[in-house]
Amino acid sequence: MVISKKPVRIILATFAGLLSSIAFANPVVDTTHVATAVTHEAHATTEVAHNEASHGDEHATQDPKDKVTAYIEHHLQDSHDFVFFSDEKEGKHYGFSLPVILLDNGLKVFSSSKLHHGEAVAEVDGNFYKLYHGKIYKTDAAGTINYDEHHHPTNVKPLDFSITKNVVSMLFTSILLFLMFTGLARSYKKGAIPTGFGRVLEPLIIFIRDEIAIPNIGEKKYRKYMGYLLTVFFFIWLLNLLGMTPLGINVTGNIAVTVCLALFTYFITQFSANKEYWGHIFWMPGVPVPMKIILMPIEILGTLTKPFALLIRLFANITAGHVVIMSLIAMIFVGKNIYADMPISLGLTLFISVIEILVAFLQAFIFTMLSSLFIGMAVQDHHHDEHGHEEENVII
């Protein structure tokens, strides 16, 4: 399988990493195909321009701005193969394929190399699949994709459980986290003070405990939630930082990932909530009965908006960071004067990258912080009852 060539390609990838800006700005062929398809059908004006220059190289004549937009869009999405960079002229992709798992009348497992980055139709057990805009559609032998009036494909989408680039990244991160922290746990067996890398990790754990968990959840109950908070913090942080590398991974900027993370917090909050919490939601103490009825739906909605804010915040911040950095790098290729654009582009990219490293930590911190705050609200012993009585007395 192609995966066996992985180590060689990882070395290649590190070389690519050194040429990160070039790797980012080199548009992948399949996206250009997509982009051309879009221009063909949606914009007649560009089609005219395209036809005029169609005798030349198809890719070279495409508007660089469209190419950049398509490339950024492609980057932000999950992908079925791990492409580090690609040669546009020869149509070669440097990276490795990943297994595709489809649930379509039984389990269909095949390598993503069959899909040829969306250029070819994969035939598996008599079924035909085609990659279009990062999603796998069921199609016929010719690879026809039908569109509705909004230019959305109407083909059947089989349930896709593929080990995608993001899944691989998450697995990689998980293994890294596991090795790092079991290492730290082991180092305590030798002595009370950790050695080596553990010295960096331990203050972070203590920081999460003393600055996030204890102030928000409380001295007595924080211990139960430390496992989740620590895992989520380091998981998000490491994935954010991984997104900053030239590997071109965007995990925490993927809506499915943030939805999952927020749902974890939501379920932990709801399942650990005590009587007072539910009392506050369904029958707010200390207010007149009509207000109680009005407040009930608001409070119920409030429990949902909290995790929703969590998932949108993380998603939007990371996505925005990726878009800004890629756009700044793309300035070099869009601008006419490379000597003038290059220093500006690189300077700004460096500046934003430094901010993004801060944001990577900050978003992990905020996610953990808010999670612990929500859990804290659900488990803390409220003293509102006394407070409510006082208020009642005042009203009377």
- List of residues contacting other proteins (CB under 8 A): 77-78, 101, 135, 152, 159-164, 166-167, 170-171, 174, 177-178, 181-182, 184-185, 188, 192-193, 202, 205-206, 209, 223, 226-228, 230-232, 235, 254-257, 259-261, 263-264
Give backbone dihedrals phi and psi of 162, rounded to 5 degrees, phi first: -65, 150
Three-class secondary structure of residue 195 per DSSP: coil
Give backbone dihedrals phi and psi of 121, rounded to 5 degrees, phi first: -95, 130
Q: Which is nearer to other proteins, 85 or 225 (CB)?
A: 225
Q: Which is nearer to other proteins, 185 or 320 (CB)?
A: 185
Residue type, 329: I
Do 289 and 349 contact (CB within 8 A), yes or no? no
Do 286 and 295 contact (CB within 8 A), yes or no? no
Residue 285 Cβ, how far from other proteins at the closest point, in Å?
34
Residue ranges in the chain assigned as alpha helix (H): 6-18, 20-25, 29-42, 44-52, 58-61, 64-76, 165-190, 198-207, 214-217, 223-244, 255-272, 275-282, 289-334, 338-379, 384-395
Q: Which is nearer to other proteins, 235 or 333 (CB)?
A: 235
DSSP 298-313: HHHHHHHHHHHHHHHH
Q: Which is nearer to other proteins, 271 or 339 (CB)?
A: 271
Residue 239 Cβ, how far from other proteins at the closest point, in Å?
10
Residue 253 Cβ, how far from other proteins at the closest point, in Å?
10
Q: Which is nearer to other proteins, 37 or 49 (CB)?
A: 37
Residue 228 Cβ, how far from other proteins at the closest point, in Å?
6
Residue 31 Cβ, how far from other proteins at the closest point, in Å?
15
Q: Which is nearer to other proteins, 181 or 283 (CB)?
A: 181
Residues 87-96: contacts with CB under 8 Å, at least 24 apart: 87/26, 88/26, 88/27, 88/29, 88/32, 88/59, 89/57, 89/59, 91/29, 91/119, 93/28, 93/29, 93/117, 94/9, 94/12, 94/13, 94/16, 95/9, 95/13, 96/2, 96/3, 96/5, 96/6, 96/9
Residue 80 Cβ, how far from other proteins at the closest point, in Å?
10
Residue 166 Cβ, how far from other proteins at the closest point, in Å?
6
Q: Which is nearer to other proteins, 16 or 310 (CB)?
A: 310
